[in-house]
Amino acid sequence: MNWIETHEAGFRLGLFVLVLVIMLVAEWQWPKRQLTRTRRERWRGNIALTAFNTLTLRLLAPLSAVGVASLVDKSGWGLLNQLSLPLWATVVLTLIVMDLAIWYQHKLFHELPWLWRLHLVHHADMDIDVTTGARFHTVEIWLSMAIKCALVALLGAPVLGVILFETVLSSMAMFNHSNVRLPLRLDDWLRRIVVTPDMHRVHHSTRFHECNANYGFNLSCWDRWFNTYVAQPRKGHQGMRIGLNEVAQANDASRIIGMLRLPLRWRILQRAYQHDKER
């Protein structure tokens, strides 16, 4: 067992705080867009929802993805445990396969109405910044964890690979949701490999074609290979509208109670489903 596995909690928390601080400073120094709501108004709800989700998972979830990986390692279950591969190879395969799975999961949450009603909580944020990266409905968080646990068991993913994947996923979510202005050349170079803030911002557009594109959180190749890549918003990053046209009330978009009950708002759901988005 290596140092990362032994100090998993400290390793993940330390990198989370480090990336969060870096992105907060970058947003303050080099903002891409002027926010339509105050940080205090939005952050209060986004951070409260994130804390609530983390608490429920810690207290109520029987196993985390890392816990399943540990169980799989001891029992010898899963595909990778049937192959004679070095640890580095199984870690790399885990990072790639799980990233593709998260990409496809994200796509399904847009295509299936019963999943979209949960995922629209993420898209109801009328601005996008580092806190948006962790703003998800509690039920979606639970479903996502269940999917990851099942994938880890089927794949036979090593503990180290799962820890690194979870760490990279949370870090990249903060990075590509951040309201940071990257130099165009740097953005162009980075998005050949990973999802940049400008690339993912397109996904939060109110336009149908743009919202249903750029599903990736980490590797950018999946959207290119599966024809869901949109390079830039039609109206530009300053002119594009972010969020859902149907959700404009602070109670629904910025407060935890409103966000948690949003999937039950039938009239909003009927209007906010994909086919009624701005085209």
pTM: 0.91
pLDDT at 187: 95
pLDDT at 37: 80
Q: pLDDT exceeding 70 applies to what percent of the chain?
A: 92
pLDDT at 219: 97
CB of 65 closer than 8 Å to CB of 57: no
- Indicate the average pLDDT of the chain: 89
* Helical axes 138-155 vs 87-111, angle rounded to 10°: 140
| Region 58-68 average pLDDT | 84
Q: What is the pLDDT of residues 179-206, one digit of tens each?
A: 999 999 999 999 999 999 999 999 999 9
| Region 258-264 average pLDDT | 87
Q: What is the pLDDT of residues 7-30, one digit of tens each?
A: 888 889 999 999 999 999 999 999
| Region 87-96 average pLDDT | 96
| Region 233-241 average pLDDT | 92
pLDDT at 123: 93
pLDDT at 264: 84
Tell me the two tokens of residue 94. 């885990």
